[in-house]
Amino acid sequence: MKILCILLAHFPWRCEVRRNPALEGRPAIVTYTSGSHRLVLDWSPELEGLQRDMPLQQALARHGEVDLLQADLPCYRAVFNELLDALEEKSPLVEGPDLGCVYIGVDGLQLIYPDEDALLQAINEAIPETFTSQIGIAGNKFLAYLAARRSPPGRHRILTGDVAAFLRRLPCDVLPVSMKSRSKLRDFGIDTLGQVAALLPGPVQSQFGPEGRRIWELARGHDDTPLYPRFMEKAIEESTTLSSVTVSLEAILVAAEVILVRVFADIARKGLGIRSLTLWTRSWSSENWERTIQFKEPAMDVKTAVSRIKRVLEDYPQPGPVEQVGIKINRLGYPHGRQKSLFSELRAQDHLIEDIKQLDLRLGNPQVYTVKEVEPWSRIPERRYALTPTGR
């Protein structure tokens, strides 16, 4: 299968520049918080020596005069999803495994785009100008990724012919394997993919376990990882802007309830319930807050969904006064089937007894009887059970 890989370098930082063009050309670090640690997510291209997930203190030790930006992941994901939507108009097989990395299945597209230049032009049209893309085309995901990484910014590289020669000098750090395995390769003095490929698979596997086989195959350019296209599902997203900014939980909950009423008006007619939803809010200072809520059993009415949302709102406080509330329905589902019984259902039994009483009243004497144990231990058969009027 022919795969096209698009890498958008510094995607989070580019999203920030897109939102605030004044950041262009200024040194900046995008940070995120993990527990009590502040870590680096991305940085402006002119800053060197930084790595993703490194502690912010280390980054500041290298670059003191920088703007610090708090990562707005919901915003980045929204921009990335817009990009994937645009790319899906070019090919139905689009996978976005990570922010700024896209794989596209291009088999069969030659019927639409006569040559690779036409295809690349169509792909580039879908990418917003803010982002600088690197594109690689090869026979599998790993090779396409490497080709994209090795292509100059704004250009592309098509990997054909002698793949082994291309891989031979590449460092082992490009392997998508665990840090432990990469470190172990270095400890063995194995620095390039060519050195790994020269080994026999057995020894590599015996040293690295199941991952050893994968390391050896990747080093020889074999990657059987399938493409996982985005799962197409009808998406429902509704939002409402509050009349005034608020920190009141009740006001946010009421807004969520209003949205859910609109959603259920659409889905309840089809007998569907909500399996998963994402609740998001936007504060007056443009801070985003979002939580995804999974329902063990589909929420079939507003009340069930609201009670769950209320707990989430209580557990995860808002970053600031909220001015917009929205709900995105990620997954719908049908209610779980339940075997119903006329007699075991309390309400049905109530109705039945009421009907029997009406019958008794109309006809003047008991019409329906229930077998009742009287003396089940008795040796005389007719003393064991008796019929008693039902509902009396």
Residue count at the site for another protein (CB under 8 A)? 18
Contact between 381 and another protein (CB under 8 A)?
yes
Give 62 or 392: the residue with its C-beta nearer to another protein. 392
Candidate list 296, 338, 362, 379; residue touching another protein; CB under 8 A:
379
CA separation (Å) from 34 to 38, 69, 247, 382? 6, 15, 25, 77
Please say whether the dihedral angle defined by the alpha carbons of residues 268, 270, 273 and 277, taken in this order, is positive or negative.
negative
CA separation (Å) from 94 to 37, 247, 283, 391? 34, 40, 32, 64
Applying CB under 8 A, the span of 61-69, 97-105, 124-132, 379-387 interacting with another protein comes to: 379-387
Q: What is the nearest approach in angstroms of another protein to the Cβ of residue 370? A: 6
Applying CB under 8 A, the span of 6-14, 115-123, 266-274, 374-382 interacting with another protein comes to: 374-382
Give 292 or 370: the residue with its C-beta nearer to another protein. 370
Contact between 385 and another protein (CB under 8 A)?
yes
Give 22 or 371: the residue with its C-beta nearer to another protein. 371
Instruction: Show the beta-strand stretches assigned E in the chain.
Output: 3-8, 28-34, 37-43, 67-70, 94-98, 101-105, 133-138, 156-158, 236-246, 273-283, 288-299, 322-333, 369-373, 385-389
Q: What is the nearest approach in angstroms of another protein to the Cβ of residue 369? A: 7
Give the dihedral of Cα atoms 371, 373, 375, 380; nearest 10 deg: 40
* Residues 310-369 close enough to bind another protein by CB under 8 A: 366, 369
Q: What is the nearest approach in angstroms of another protein to the Cβ of residue 349? A: 11
Residue corresponding to tokens 């077998």: 371
Contacts of 245 by beta carbon, 8 Å cutoff, 6+ apart: 283, 284, 321, 322, 323
Applying CB under 8 A, the span of 67-75, 105-113, 251-259, 383-391 interacting with another protein comes to: 383-391
Q: What is the nearest approach in angstroms of another protein to the Cβ of residue 265? A: 42
Give 200 or 380: the residue with its C-beta nearer to another protein. 380
Contact between 373 and another protein (CB under 8 A)?
yes
Asked if 14 contacts 28 with a C-beta cutoff of 8 angstroms, the reply is no
Tell me the two tokens of residue 149.
Answer: 């990484």
CA separation (Å) from 312 to 49, 284, 290, 306, 317? 40, 21, 10, 10, 9
Give 316 or 369: the residue with its C-beta nearer to another protein. 369
Q: What is the nearest approach in angstroms of another protein to the Cβ of residue 381? A: 5
Q: What is the nearest approach in angstroms of another protein to the Cβ of residue 311? A: 37
What is the C-alpha separation between 349 and 280, in angstroms, rounded? 44
Asked if 145 contacts 134 with a C-beta cutoff of 8 angstroms, the reply is no
DSSP 166: H
Q: What is the nearest approach in angstroms of another protein to the Cβ of residue 343? A: 10
The residues of the shown chain that bind another protein, judged by CB under 8 A, are: 366, 369-374, 379-382, 384-389, 392
